[in-house]
Amino acid sequence: MEYGIKRSILLLEKTSYAKEGENSLQALGMIDCSNGINPLGISESVENSIRSMSIDTINKYPKDWLQLKDSIIKYWKEVGEINYDMIAFGNGSIELIYKINKLYIENNYKALGYSPQFSDFVDDVKSCGGIYESYKLSIDNNYMFSPNDYIKKMNKEYSLFYIDNPNNPTGQVIDIAYIETIVKKARDLGRPIVIDEAYGDFIGNDQSAIKLVGSYDNLIVLRTFSKGLGLAGIRAGYMVASESIIKQYRKVSNPYEMNGIARIIVNSAIKDVEFMENCKNTIKCYKTKMLESLKKLKILETHESVPISTIMHPDPNVDLEELLLNYNIISVSGRDFIGLGKNFVRLMVNSNIDEIIIRLTEVENAMDI
């Protein structure tokens, strides 16, 4: 029996591609191109901070956030001026999304996104009783985002606007000038807008919407340490927004946002700017090499330094995820994203790039096109 579980949750068919036990195939000689992480691992400075960590960190409640907030403020000082009261933490950006939806979404409230995009946001809107609608990217334009088309759909019927930039699953990037135009439109409508920059570390800080927070009090920017800085296992993220939004956010959060171990590790990670720059350059090289090798599989609009991309098989009847598994490549099926289908996959750049290219070439050689 459900014993009073909310109807919105009973009716929800969850589409999240993150599943327990998802790494079980790796032992079979598979190359994992599914996980949205930094394929180059973590920095040496992070390793050192883990080794030097006091055991007391586990025993005590996490109360000292001043050092981490100082580091975040310093990290963004060339981009925009932010202060302590404009920062809040969470267990990865996904928890921040859940709590933001709790702030703004009730039964039959609408949220506007664009599809395909991060499916866990979609699911959570629905679990809150809300209605998710989207501006649908088109194959006719190779799934490139059109700011003008998105803005045309924006109106006061929506309680919240959501943009992931870079986009998950395509890896494309919306220029900051277009982002500002969209944020301004949302402000004119009197509505909040979330810019989810989970993959933001892979592009320049000058493209981050954090530079706009001081000018737009309706803007919420999400960042995570899971992707670029390679710290998915510790579950750590933060948001930057106006002081008024953060004040309301704290009503649905808790006094111990982000665990004590994570606070120490990410404080070390965010200072290692050289590590992230090296990662961006290496991944750009890997991704360019992989994409240039493809001749028959179609590549949707993407950015060269973002480690994810969406690949399409020209035959809509082909299950591309299953096909790649036959060549020992683990990917994420397009079925897990609104606007895609089984002949699409999200493919993550892997450090074993030469072997990936060999296997993808074998896939294409077997295609009857």
Claim to verify: residue 51 and residue 178 sit in the same structural domain: yes
What is the DSSP annotation of 295-356? SSSEE-S--TTSSEEEEE-S-TT--HHHHHHHTTEE-EEGGGSTT--TTEEEEE--S-HHHH
Domains in the chain, number = 2
Query: Per-residue pLDDT for the chain (369 aa), expressed as one digit of tens each?
Result: 567 777 777 776 776 666 544 555 555 678 999 988 888 888 888 888 888 877 877 777 777 778 899 999 999 999 999 999 999 999 989 999 999 999 999 999 999 999 999 999 999 999 999 999 999 999 999 999 999 999 999 999 999 999 999 999 999 999 999 999 999 999 999 999 999 999 999 998 999 999 999 999 999 999 999 998 888 888 999 999 999 999 999 999 887 888 888 888 999 899 989 989 999 999 999 999 999 999 999 999 999 999 999 999 999 999 999 999 999 999 999 999 999 999 999 999 989 999 999 999 999 999 987
Q: Which of 253, 272, 291 corresponds to the end of one domain?
A: 272
**CATH number of the domain where residue 215 is located:** 3.40.640.10
| Tokens, residue 20 | 């327990």
Q: What is the C-alpha separation between 150 and 135, in angstroms, rounded? A: 6
Q: What is the C-alpha separation between 359 and 326, in angstroms, rounded? A: 10
Claim to verify: residue 243 and residue 345 sit in the same structural domain: no
Q: Which of 223, 256, 272 corresponds to the end of one domain?
A: 272
**CATH number of the domain where residue 317 is located:** 3.90.1150.10
Claim to verify: residue 166 and residue 285 sit in the same structural domain: no
Claim to verify: residue 291 and residue 318 sit in the same structural domain: yes
Claim to verify: residue 227 and residue 294 sit in the same structural domain: no
> One-letter amino acid identity for 201?
D
Q: What is the pTM of this model?
A: 0.93
Q: Which of 272, 301, 328 corresponds to the end of one domain?
A: 272
What is the DSSP annotation of 177-219? HHHHHHHHHHHHTT--EEEE-TTGGGS-GGG-GGGGTTT-TTE
Q: What is the C-alpha separation between 346 and 335, in angstroms, rounded? A: 10
90: phi then psi, degrees, rounded to nearest 5: -160, 170
What is the domain extent for residue 335? 24-41+274-365
Amino acid 16: pLDDT? 60
Peptide bond into 147 cis (omega under 30): no
